[in-house]
Structure 1
Amino acid sequence: MTRPLSNDLRERVVRAVEAGESCRSVAARFGVAVSSAVKWSQRYRASGSVAPGKMGGHRKRVLEPHRAFIAERISQTPHLSLHKLKEELAARGVKVSHDTVWRFLRREGLRFKKNTVRP
């Protein structure tokens, strides 16, 4: 992901557009995309600032609220498969992939073995 262009460039582009130049000519003069000039101008008119918005971020973990349920099910039924656990979560209204369940189990250290007889 690229980083945002500088606020100085954004301000110069917005000032030129506010002075009456078209977004296309301003974009060509400053070497930015026409859509950038349009969006920066709209942002300036709406908020009074040309600063970029927040980029990226973290998604909240979908299975975190269900950690107790998952840990209980694994302790009750150690031979439970990922797909079966996924189906039980779906019955509770949580629709996730088996990969999401697997990554959650790995991250939380809730590992289980299907064959507990083998060392």
Structure 2
Amino acid sequence: MDLEKFILDAMAREGVSFEELERARVISTPSALLDFDYWCDVHENPVSWSADSYVIRGAADEVVPLGALDVLMSRARVELTSLPGRGHFLGAEGDVRLVVDWFRRVFEE
């Protein structure tokens, strides 16, 4: 996942400028905890990933937009499973069964 893009997207969504974050150091918003030092670390040390991966996500994920996975998906073989009508937190009634079924399909084959 492109963590830098994820953080910058969250900042844009919440109307927080880079200068505001640098000045405040940490800003808590309804959708994310924005931390300047963490952003610096992510910026200076991008994730390098080449292992085959399996990703499950809710199609209506309100926390991690699909675009934030683009870097991962372009650098490794990724099997992406998107659950229709589901959000980021797969804990609602019925979600556990979907996740267990997915896990069995992926890892017991």
TM-score range normalised by the length of the shorter chain: under 0.3
Per the normalisation by structure 1, the TM-score is 0.23
The structure whose RCO (Cα within 8 Å, separation 6+) is larger is 2
More helix by share: 1
User: In terms of Rg, which structure is larger?
Assistant: 1
Per the normalisation by structure 2, the TM-score is 0.24
